[in-house]
Amino acid sequence: MFSLSSRSTKTFRPRKGTPVGSKYEYLWADGVKVKKPIRCSAPEYINKLYDWIEEQIDDDRIFPQQFGSPFPPNFMEVTKTIFKRLFRVYAHIYHSHFKAICSLGEEAHLNTCFKHFIFFVAHYNLVEEKELAPLQELIDTFLGNGRQGATGTAS
């Protein structure tokens, strides 16, 4: 997947010409370093995201390291934000780089990773269904039973 970084688009959104290309654009804000959402390239967004996720996971107040320590009241909120933003990376990859993934023969690997991701998201209800719209058709295929949506239980 990292070999795609040189092919990334200037802004973090599905390419124009795709069914949802003009509908979605993901802006970056972490609420601390960047308070007002900004446009950035896909590699910049992903780097900022991974750095932010690492900060969250390393923060003992959010993800306690000590066995038996209680999780904070905002634990699920932070976790859902992490998964929502990770989903955006998948949406970008599928809409902007799927042909390149196929040319590398890696579509089965991408689909398997995303399928596991979406089953986990669905099982724990980690991403709101409206956020999943850019890949809803694929998600419905993975979850089975037609238009089950992300809130259904993955089996």
Residue 152 belongs to some domain of the structure: no
Mean pLDDT of 4-14: 51
Residue 37 CB coordination number (10 Å): 12
Q: Does residue 111 lie in a domain region?
A: yes
pLDDT tens for residues 55-67?
999 999 999 999 9
pLDDT at 11: 53
Q: What CATH code is carried by the domain that includes residue 91?
A: 1.20.140.30
Mean pLDDT of 122-136: 96
Candidate from 21-25, 73-77, 95-99, 122-126 with smallest mean pLDDT? 21-25
How much is the pLDDT for 80? 98
Lowest mean pLDDT, pick from 17-26, 42-51, 60-69, 126-135: 17-26
How many Å apart are CA 42 and CA 6, to the nearest integer?
10
**Structure token digits, residue 106:** 């890696």
Of 131, 115, 121, whose CA–CA distance to 153 is shortest? 121
Residue 31 CB neighbours (<10 A): 8
Q: What is the mean pLDDT of residues 25-38?
A: 90
Q: Is residue 153 part of a domain?
A: no
Domain count, the chain: 1
- Asked if the structure places residue 32 within a domain, the reply is yes
Q: Rounded distance, CA 119 to CA 148, Å?
A: 12
Whether 151 is covered by a domain: the verdict is no
Are residues 96 and 8 in contact, defined by beta-carbon separation less than 8 angstroms?
Answer: yes
Mean pLDDT estimate for the chain = 85
Asked whether residue 154 is assigned to any structural domain, the reply reads no
Residue 150: inside a domain: no
Q: Is the pLDDT of residue 14 over 80?
A: no
Written in H, E and C, the secondary structure of the chain is CHHHHHHCCCCCCCCCCCCCCCCCCCCECCCCCCCCCECCCHHHHHHHHHHHHHHHHHCCCCCCCCCCCCCCCCHHHHHHHHHHHHHHHHHHHHHHHHHHHHHCCCHHHHHHHHHHHHHHHHHHCCCCHHHHHHHHHHHHHHHCCCCCCCCCCCC
Res 83 pLDDT > 70: yes
- Residue 61 forms part of a structural domain: yes
Nearest in space to 134 (alpha carbons), one of 97, 81, 92: 92
pTM of the shown model: 0.80
- Domain span at residue 7 reads 2-143
The whole-number average pLDDT for the span 42-67 is: 96
